[in-house]
Structure 1
Amino acid sequence: MSSLAAAVSWGRRHIPDAAVPAVTRARLTRARKNQDRLARAHREMEFLLGGACTPAEVDRAAERYVERDILRSELRWHPNLITFQEVEGVEHLVAARKRGRGVVISFLHHGHYEGAVASVCRADRPLLVVVSPEMLAPDAPEFLKQHVRTGTVSGGRPLDATVGAKGMLKALHDGNVLAIASDVPGRTPIRFLGVDRLGSFGAARLAAGAGCPVVSMTAHPDADGKPYLRLSEPLEPGDFASPDDLLLEMVQLQEAPALAWPEAYHQPTLRWGAVQPASSAAAS
Structure 2
Amino acid sequence: MSSLTSAVSWGRRHIPDVAVPAITRTRLARARKDDARAAKAHREMDFLLGGVSTPAEVDRAAERYLERDILRSELRWHPKLITFQEVEGVANLVAARKRGRGVVISFLHHGHYEGAVASVCRADQPMLVVVSPEMLAPDAPEFLKQHVRTGTVSGGRPLDATVGAKGMLAALAEGEVLAIASDVPGRTPIRFLGVDRLGSFGAARLATGAGAPVVSMTAHPDADGRPYLRLSEPLDPRDFASPDDLLLEMVRLQEAPVLAWPEAYHQPTLRWGAVQPAGSAAAS
Mind listing any 5+ residue stretches in structure 1 that lack a counterpart? none
Could you say which residue in structure 2 is the equivalent of 1:179? 179
Distance in 1 (alpha carbons) for counterparts of 2:12 and 2:266? 20
Q: Who is 1:78 aligned against? A: 78
Cα distance in 2 for residues equivalent to 1:69 and 1:28: 9
The letter for the 2-side match of 1:8 is V
Kept in 1: contact 2:116–2:229 (CA 8 A): yes
Paired letter, 2:194: G
Q: CA deviation at 1:282?
A: 7.9
Match of 2:5 in 1: 5
**CA deviation digits over 1:61-110, x for unaligned, max 9?**
00000000000000000000000000000000000000000000000000
- 1:150 is matched with which residue? 150
User: Cα offset for 1:2?
Assistant: 1.0
- Describe the SS at the equivalent of 1:235: coil
- 1:67 is matched with 67
State the secondary structure of the residue aligned to 2:134. Answer: helix
- Provide the secondary structure at the position in 1 that maps to 2:207: helix
- Match of residue 101 from structure 1: 101
1:167 matched residue in structure 2: 167
The number of residues matched between the two structures is 284
SS at the partner of 1:278?
Answer: coil
Instruction: Tell me by how many angstroms 1:280 deviates.
Output: 1.7
Question: In the alignment, what sits opposite 1:54?
Answer: 54
Which residue is 2:32 aligned to?
A: 32
Which residue number in structure 2 is paired with residue 200 of structure 1?
200
The one-letter code sitting in structure 1 at the alignment partner of 2:12 is R
Deviation of 1:281 after TM superposition, in Å, equals 4.7
AA at the equivalent of 2:156: G
Distance 1:154 1:283 in 2: 43
C-alpha deviation, 1:3, in angstroms: 1.3
What's the secondary structure of 1:248's corresponding residue? helix
Question: What's the offset of the Cα at 1:7?
Answer: 1.2
> Partners of 1:52 and 1:230 in 2: how far apart?
24
Match of 2:112 in 1: 112
How far did 1:4 drift? 1.3
Alpha-carbon distance in structure 2 between the residues aligned to 1:245 and 1:155? 33
User: TM-score, normalization: structure 2?
Assistant: 0.99
Counterpart code for 1:250:
M
Match of 1:274 in 2: 274
TM-score (ref. length: structure 1): 0.99
Conserved? CA contact 2:204–2:247, under 8 Å: yes
Contact 2:205/2:243 (8 A) holds in 1? yes
Asked whether the equivalents of residues 276 and 282 of structure 2 are also in contact (C-alpha less than 8 Å), the reply is no
Deviation at 1:279, TM superposition (A): 3.2
Secondary structure (helix, strand or coil) at the match of 1:279 reads coil
Identity %: 89
Cα displacement string for residues 179-222 of structure 1 (whole angstroms, at most 9, x for unaligned residues): 00000000000000000000000000000000010000000000
Task: Find the counterpart in structure 2 of residue 18 from structure 1.
Answer: 18
Give the whole-Å Cα distance in 1 for the aligned partners of 2:225 and 2:4. 34
* Amino acid corresponding to residue 150 of structure 1 in structure 2: T
Q: Tell me which amino acid in the other structure corresponds to 1:119.
A: S
Unaligned runs of 5+ in 2: none
Residues 235-277 of structure 1: per-residue CA shift (max 9 Å, x gap): 0000000000000000000000000000000000000000001
- State the distance in 1 between where 2:163 and 2:116 align: 23
Q: Is residue 229 of structure 2 the alignment partner of residue 236 of structure 1?
A: no
Q: Is the 8 A contact 2:276 2:283 kept in 1?
A: no
Q: State the distance in 2 between where 1:66 and 1:46 align.
A: 13
Distance in 2 between the 1:260 and 1:278 partners? 32
Residue 43 in 1 paired to residue 43 in 2? yes
